[in-house]
């Protein structure tokens, strides 16, 4: 490792005083990635926990990787299935194939690279401008953004959405730790409203580009389960397939089981808030049960159908799981108080499913629900904090009397 | 009246080097020093000059704002140096000790009234053993506190256990209690659930409460929060049980004896155990004899909130323990990515959680760089108060006095944030921030 250290040592003068000064944050970021620095505690406690922001972020990435790899296979699988290239008799066994992986990887890895370059570019610029080190938050955002996109999203759109999210979603508020909205979802929302034809409808979730001599299978629609529910009130996908993840959707959102695995890892490591995840589950179940109860009074049969689906359908189809585990738990944009997290999480689940079912313009409601609750989180916190202050005042009054 | 309290939130750091309960007397020490910075709230004014002969208990410094508050000499000898820092700030007053210590006498042991007790404590400098809440600074003799809290616990890593430190001082301790009882309507002694020492458990005619649980169950702030929470405008005085015996000695013999049984722990100690030392003494010989060779950090106090005094430094005036732990040295190749089976973390982000009973030889390494506040909810796990730590810290950061008060800054002192600081993902200097917040309020109010 000595020679790597030597490279950093040799190049340091150029970025600290030389003409490459603007590159100092990049140099520092790369160096501290290779070597956790030997800084010692100067004031306060003399011993410190081994955890730092880098470890926190890499832990989230560890949790994301299974769903990401699955998404790579699934993109290829959905493509090859649409083209009728799979032997349907073997179905499952044709999922984890080299062809599927290669197809997905060639699509998705460029998306990831573009996101990181665009986002970290902005981050490094602001680190230089405001003279601080590059914060690691974007390590996760940079992976989340492509995972929430449809497979055919053009790279330049991803780049622009990412830059918008980091700039307007984060840096204008003062950078990492200060943002109100979840940066990854800000990017997605930007893409959703700026390029709706690439982000919604039935045609974007499966790559159905035809090569010479290829043709789509008979009866191919490309619709997602939620799209089907919204139009017909039922779906052709099974809940089991959705739980495993072999359905069309955004790249990372489909496999409930692997997201669940990531969620368990985040809870076990203490990095993700179980309170938010659990209360989002409660919120989703609550609204589903309410829907089940009122379904018969709906007029249209589609609505009746959609409202009467069992609650676990809502958990496996669409992005409830992905959003709950990876988006809602972003500590900066979530409620900061522990009590607040219960309310915040509950309403994410509750509103997410509600928008999904009732608003035909947005077949998936989780993105809007989380962004809305991001905005509401400070208000929730305000009341929790007021409660704490009131308890203190009450004690004071008691002691005076 | 005695109640039991269980503290659930907190953390005992799994460190090597717990002191065993054996006492070793230390030899004659020739140099002592008074460091004004140790006395929070003190505006120091010198009462001596270089070359003066002083006796133990004689005033070295007094407080410009309240000249009744005096800092005493721990030993008899000659003032050998007065060292100043930038802007002529008083750094330390060094005293070269005589072979045989002579004590100034502050009168016989006749029963005294409240004001006479106060005067005797102030005159002898024993007053500096008392601290006040809020702020955790020197107690103001003009206040009338709603209670005096005596801390008979130690839950810090390597803390000295008062039950052991007070061995042989049973009578002095109860004499000290009698004195303190005169100063306030309510005197409260907090001890550990499993405390067996008769000195503490049988202290008569006094409120005793037992506390159980991980650190900070032994912090006075925790005891106050459970027994008699501090409200705005109220004052509480606090004192350590070991120091009660010093007061007892003062009223028994008329002399101020600042010798204490302290615990010395940490991976750098040859034999972590108890030592008989005196506040303010030079630790040069002690450290060179009792610690291992190598690059260590020498701390007067605990690893959580003590002061780095260096190998040749002076023991804190009020120190009940010293800790010696290794300095962190090397960079850590890809340390944040690798599984980290041997990295201690309160979170389970490193795979060291697979070995829950392991002890660690923690160094002073920061393990990362300072970052913005990102993670929420982690402090709450080690912070057993009805206070919102993140919100309070942010109000201090914003210097919002009203919010600080509302969010309960009066109920805590920096040491209560020590564990939060240890586990902080963003490596923020929390104790420094809390001290700053308290200073802002102190200056606003006084």
What's the Rg (C-alpha) of chain A?
23
Task: Return d(Cα B108, Cα A161) in angstroms, integer.
Answer: 82
- The pLDDT confidence band at residue A401, using thresholds 50, 70 and 90, is low
pLDDT, tens digit (0-9, with 9 covering 90-100), for A239-265: 888 888 888 888 988 899 999 999 999
**CA of B180 to nearest chain A CA: how many angstroms apart?**
23
State the best of B372, B395, B417 to mutate against chain A, taking most chain A CBs within 10 Å: B372
Residues A296, A151: one domain? Answer: no
Task: Return d(Cα B194, Cα B211) in angstroms, integer.
Answer: 9
Residue A273 covered by a domain: yes
Residue A9 covered by a domain: no
pLDDT at B226 over 90: yes
What's the pLDDT at A148? Answer: 92
Across the interface, of A1, A136, A271, the residue whose CB is closest to B349 is A271
Residues A250, A103: one domain? Answer: no
Number of folded domains that form chain A: 2
pLDDT above 90 covers a percentage of chain A that reads 42
Task: Return d(Cα B11, Cα A215) in angstroms, integer.
Answer: 64
Task: Return d(Cα B338, Cα A224) in angstroms, integer.
Answer: 38
Beta-carbon separation of B343 and A269 below 8 A: no
| Range(s) within chain B of domains with CATH label 2.40.240.130 | 259-326
Q: Work out the average pLDDT over A37-48.
A: 85
Residues A168, A195: one domain? Answer: yes
Residue A98 covered by a domain: yes
- What is the CATH T-level fold of the domain B259-326, as seen in this structure? Ribosomal Protein L25; Chain P (2.40.240)
Residues A127, A238: one domain? Answer: no
H helix runs in A130-182, sequence order? 137-147, 155-164
Helix/strand/coil (H/E/C) assignment for every residue in B336-374: CCCCCCCCCCCCCCCHHHHCCCCCECCCCECCCCCCCCC
pLDDT, tens digit (0-9, with 9 covering 90-100), for B51-74: 999 999 999 999 999 999 999 999
**CA of A134 to nearest chain B CA: how many angstroms apart?**
9
pLDDT, tens digit (0-9, with 9 covering 90-100), for B322-366: 999 999 888 878 878 888 888 888 888 888 888 888 888 888 888
Tokens standing for residue B423: 């586990």
Distance of CA B345 to CAs B342, B367, B425, Å?
9, 10, 10
pLDDT at B1 over 70: no
Task: Return d(Cα A312, Cα A285) in angstroms, integer.
Answer: 8
DSSP 8-state secondary structure symbol assigned to residue B88:
G
Task: Return d(Cα B216, Cα B209) in angstroms, integer.
Answer: 15
Cis-peptide, bond into residue A294, ω within 30° of zero? no
Packed helices A53-82 and A98-129: angle between N→C axes, nearest 10 degrees: 140
**CA of B278 to nearest chain A CA: how many angstroms apart?**
24
Residues A336, A267: one domain? Answer: yes
pLDDT, tens digit (0-9, with 9 covering 90-100), for A132-175: 888 888 889 999 999 999 988 899 999 999 999 999 988 888 88
Beta-carbon separation of B344 and A49 below 8 A: yes
Beta-carbon separation of B371 and A51 below 8 A: no
pTM of the model: 0.90
Cis-peptide, bond into residue B134, ω within 30° of zero? yes
pLDDT above 90 covers a percentage of chain B that reads 67
Residues A205, A293: one domain? Answer: no
**Residue A360 DSSP SS3:** coil
B61: β partners:
B46, B71
Task: Return d(Cα A101, Cα A148) in angstroms, integer.
Answer: 18
What's the pLDDT at A20? Answer: 77
Across the interface, of A4, A45, A270, the residue whose CB is closest to B348 is A270
pLDDT at B112 over 90: no
Beta-carbon separation of A271 and B363 below 8 A: no
What's the pLDDT at B114? Answer: 86
Domain end call among A216, A245, A267: A216
Tokens standing for residue A82: 């649409």
β-strands B90-97, B77-84: how paired? antiparallel
pLDDT, tens digit (0-9, with 9 covering 90-100), for B288-332: 999 999 999 999 999 999 999 989 999 999 999 999 999 988 887
Residue B339: CB atoms within 10 Å: 10
Beta-carbon separation of B364 and A46 below 8 A: yes
Residues A183, A295: one domain? Answer: no
H helix runs in A253-310, sequence order? 256-269, 274-294, 301-307
What's the pLDDT at A91? Answer: 61
Please report the DSSP string for A179-237 in residue order: -SS-HHHHHHHHHHHHSHHHHSSSSSSS-----TT--PPTT-----HHHHHHHHS--SS
What's the pLDDT at B265? Answer: 93
Task: Return d(Cα A288, Cα A8) in angstroms, integer.
Answer: 56
Beta-carbon separation of B333 and A178 below 8 A: no
- The pLDDT confidence band at residue A89, using thresholds 50, 70 and 90, is low
Please report the DSSP string for B93-124 in residue order: EEEEEPSS--B----------HHHHHHHHHHH
Domain of residue A60: give its range: 22-36+53-216
- The pLDDT confidence band at residue B283, using thresholds 50, 70 and 90, is very high
What's the pLDDT at A87? Answer: 67
Residue A11 covered by a domain: no
Task: Return d(Cα A245, Cα A166) in angstroms, integer.
Answer: 30
Tokens standing for residue B301: 């106090």
**CA of B63 to nearest chain A CA: how many angstroms apart?**
26
The residues, ordered by sequence, that sit 6+ positions from B127 with a Cβ below 8 Å of its Cβ are B68, B69, B70, B118, B121, B138, B139, B141
Residues A187, A110: one domain? Answer: yes
Residues A92, A168: one domain? Answer: yes
Q: A–B: how many Cβ contacts below 8 A? A: 220
What's the pLDDT at B335? Answer: 76
Q: Work out the average pLDDT over A8-23.
A: 76
Contacts of A137 in chain B (CB under 8 A): 374
B208: β partners:
B2, B189
Beta-carbon separation of A396 and B369 below 8 A: no
Contacts of B354 in chain A (CB under 8 A): none
Task: Return d(Cα A276, Cα A282) in angstroms, integer.
Answer: 10
**CA of B131 to nearest chain A CA: how many angstroms apart?**
20
For residues A337 and A382, the answer to whether their CB atoms sit within 8 Å is: no
Query: ipTM value of the model?
Result: 0.90
Distance of CA B293 to CAs B215, B274, B287, Å?
30, 20, 10
- Please report, to the nearest 10 degrees, the dihedral formed by the alpha carbons of residues A129, A130, A133, A134 taken in order: -60
H helix runs in B282-345, sequence order? 284-290
Residues A118, A212: one domain? Answer: yes
What's the pLDDT at A22? Answer: 76
Across the interface, of B229, B343, B377, the residue whose CB is closest to A50 is B343
Residue A228 covered by a domain: no
Identify which of A248, A139, A268 has the alpha carbon closest to the alpha carbon of residue A203: A248
Residue A15 covered by a domain: no
Residue A343 covered by a domain: yes
Beta-carbon separation of A331 and B374 below 8 A: yes
Q: What is the mean pLDDT of chain B?
A: 90
Length in residues, chain B: 446
Beta-carbon separation of B365 and A38 below 8 A: yes
State the best of B306, B388, B402, B403 to mutate against chain A, taking most chain A CBs within 10 Å: B388
What's the pLDDT at B204? Answer: 74
Q: Kindly identify which residue of chain B lies nearest to residue A275, measuring between CA atoms.
A: B377
**Residue A287 DSSP SS3:** helix
pLDDT, tens digit (0-9, with 9 covering 90-100), for A173-221: 888 888 899 999 999 999 999 988 888 777 778 887 777 777 777 777 7
State the best of A8, A38, A48 to mutate against chain B, taking most chain B CBs within 10 Å: A48
pLDDT, tens digit (0-9, with 9 covering 90-100), for A348-383: 999 999 998 887 666 778 999 999 999 999 999 999
Task: Return d(Cα B402, Cα A97) in angstroms, integer.
Answer: 63
Distance of CA A346 to CAs A90, A260, A287, Å?
41, 18, 10
Beta-carbon separation of A49 and B426 below 8 A: no
What's the pLDDT at A275? Answer: 94
Q: Kindly identify which residue of chain A lies nearest to residue B361, measuring between CA atoms.
A: A47
Contacts of A334 in chain B (CB under 8 A): 376
Helix (H) or strand (E) holding B80: strand B77-84
DSSP tally for chain B: helices H, then strands E = 11, 21
Task: Return d(Cα A150, Cα B305) in angstroms, integer.
Answer: 52
Task: Return d(Cα B190, Cα A144) in angstroms, integer.
Answer: 51
Most confident of B195-209, B319-333, B392-406: B392-406
What's the Rg (C-alpha) of chain B?
21
Helix/strand/coil (H/E/C) assignment for every residue in A69-98: HHHHHHHHHHHHHHCCCCCCCCHHHHCCCH
pLDDT, tens digit (0-9, with 9 covering 90-100), for B134-153: 999 999 999 999 999 999 99
Contacts of B303 in chain A (CB under 8 A): 45-47
Half-sphere exposure at residue B416, Cβ-oriented, CA atoms within 13 angstroms: 31
Residues A150, A273: one domain? Answer: no
Q: What is the mean pLDDT of chain A?
A: 87
Of residues B373 and B300, more confidence is placed in: B300
For residues B34 and B240, the answer to whether their CB atoms sit within 8 Å is: no
What's the pLDDT at A31? Answer: 79
Across the interface, of A39, A177, A334, the residue whose CB is closest to B373 is A177
Residues A242, A386: one domain? Answer: yes
pLDDT, tens digit (0-9, with 9 covering 90-100), for B6-52: 999 999 999 998 999 989 887 888 999 999 999 998 999 999 999 99
């Amino acid at each position: 490792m000595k020679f790597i250290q030597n490279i950093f040592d040799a190049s340091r003068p150029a970025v600290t005083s030389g003409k490459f000064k603007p590159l100092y944050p990049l140099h520092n970021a790369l160096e501290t990635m290779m070597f956790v620095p030997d800084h010692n505690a100067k004031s306060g406690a003399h011993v410190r926990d081994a955890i730092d922001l880098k470890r926190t972020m890499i832990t989230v990435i560890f949790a994301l990787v299974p769903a990401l790899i699955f998404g790579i296979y699934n993109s290829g699988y959905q493509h090859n299935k649409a083209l009728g290239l799979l032997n349907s008799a073997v179905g499952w066994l044709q999922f984890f194939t080299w062809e599927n992986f290669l197809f997905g990887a060639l699509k998705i890895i460029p998306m990831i690279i573009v996101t990181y370059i665009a986002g970290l570019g902005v981050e490094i610029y602001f680190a230089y401008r405001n003279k601080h080190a590059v914060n690691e938050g974007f390590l996760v955002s940079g992976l989340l953004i492509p995972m929430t996109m449809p497979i055919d999203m053009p790279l330049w759109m991803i780049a622009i959405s990412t830059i918008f999210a980091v700039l307007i979603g984060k840096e204008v508020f003062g950078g990492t730790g200060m943002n109100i909205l979840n940066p990854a979802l800000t990017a997605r929302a930007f893409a959703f409203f700026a390029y709706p034809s690439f982000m919604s409808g039935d045609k974007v979730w499966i790559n159905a580009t035809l090569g010479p001599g290829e043709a789509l299978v008979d009866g191919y629609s490309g619709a997602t389960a939620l799209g089907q529910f919204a139009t017909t009130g039922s779906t052709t996908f099974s809940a089991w397939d959705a739980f495993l993840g072999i359905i069309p959707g955004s790249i990372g959102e489909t496999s409930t089981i692997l997201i669940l695995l990531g969620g368990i890892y985040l809870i076990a490591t203490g990095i993700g808030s179980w309170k938010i995840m659990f209360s989002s589950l409660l919120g989703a179940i609550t609204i589903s049960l309410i829907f089940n109860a009122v379904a018969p009074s709906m007029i249209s049969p589609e609505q009746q159908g959609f409202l009467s689906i069992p609650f676990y359908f809502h958990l496996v189809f669409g992005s409830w799981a992905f959003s709950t585990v990876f988006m809602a738990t972003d500590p900066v944009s979530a409620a900061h108080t522990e009590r607040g997290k219960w309310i915040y999480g509950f309403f994410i689940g509750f509103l997410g499913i509600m928008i999904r079912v009732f608003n035909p313009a947005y077949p998936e409601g989780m993105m809007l629900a989380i962004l809305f609750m991001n905005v509401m989180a400070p208000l929730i916190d305000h009341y929790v904090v007021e409660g704490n202050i009131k308890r203190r005042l009450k004690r004071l009054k008691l002691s005076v009397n | 009246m005695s109640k039991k309290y269980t503290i659930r939130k907190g953390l005992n750091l799994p460190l090597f080097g717990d002191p065993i309960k054996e006492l070793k007397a230390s030899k004659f020490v020739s140099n002592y020093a008074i460091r004004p910075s140790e006395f929070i709230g003190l505006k120091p004014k010198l009462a001596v000059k270089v070359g003066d002969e002083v006796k133990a208990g004689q005033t070295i410094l007094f407080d410009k704002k309240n000249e009744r508050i005096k800092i005493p000499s721990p030993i008899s000898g000659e003032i050998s140096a007065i060292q100043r820092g930038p802007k002529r700030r008083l750094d330390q007053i060094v005293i070269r000790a005589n072979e045989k210590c002579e004590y100034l006498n502050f009168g016989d042991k006749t029963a005294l009234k409240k004001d006479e007790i106060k005067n005797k404590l102030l005159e002898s400098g024993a007053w500096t053993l008392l601290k006040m809440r809020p702020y955790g600074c020197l107690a103001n003799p003009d206040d009338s506190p709603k209670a005096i809290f005596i801390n008979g616990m130690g839950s810090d890593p390597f803390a000295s256990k008062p039950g052991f430190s007070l061995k042989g001082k049973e009578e002095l301790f109860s004499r000290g209690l009698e004195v303190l009882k005169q100063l306030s309507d309510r005197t409260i002694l907090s001890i550990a659930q499993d405390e067996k020492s008769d000195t503490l458990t049988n202290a008569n005619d006094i409120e005793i409460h037992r506390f159980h649980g991980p650190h900070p169950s032994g912090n006075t702030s925790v005891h106050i929060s459970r027994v008699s929470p501090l409200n705005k405008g109220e004052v509480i005085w606090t004192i350590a049980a070991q120091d009660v015996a010093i007061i007892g000695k003062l009223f028994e013999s008329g002399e101020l004896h600042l010798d204490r049984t302290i615990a010395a722990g940490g991976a750098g100690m040859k034999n972590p155990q108890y030592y008989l030392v005196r506040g303010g003494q030079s630790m040069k010989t002690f450290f060179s004899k009792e610690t291992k060779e190598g690059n260590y950090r020498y701390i007067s106090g605990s690893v959580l909130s003590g002061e780095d005094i260096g190998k040749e430094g002076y023991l804190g005036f009020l120190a009940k323990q010293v800790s010696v732990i290794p300095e962190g040295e090397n960079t850590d190749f890809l340390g944040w990515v690798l599984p980290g089976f041997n990295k201690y973390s309160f979170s389970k982000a490193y795979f060291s959680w697979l070995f829950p009973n392991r002890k660690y030889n923690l160094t002073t390494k920061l393990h990362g760089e300072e970052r913005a506040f990102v993670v929420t909810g982690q402090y709450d796990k080690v912070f057993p108060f009805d206070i919102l730590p993140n919100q309070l810290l942010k109000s201090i950061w914003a210097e919002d006095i009203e919010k600080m008060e509302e969010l309960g800054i009066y109920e805590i002192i920096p040491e209560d944030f020590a564990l939060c600081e240890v586990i902080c993902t963003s490596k923020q200097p929390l104790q420094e921030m809390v001290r700053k917040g308290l200073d802002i309020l102190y200056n606003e109010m006084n």
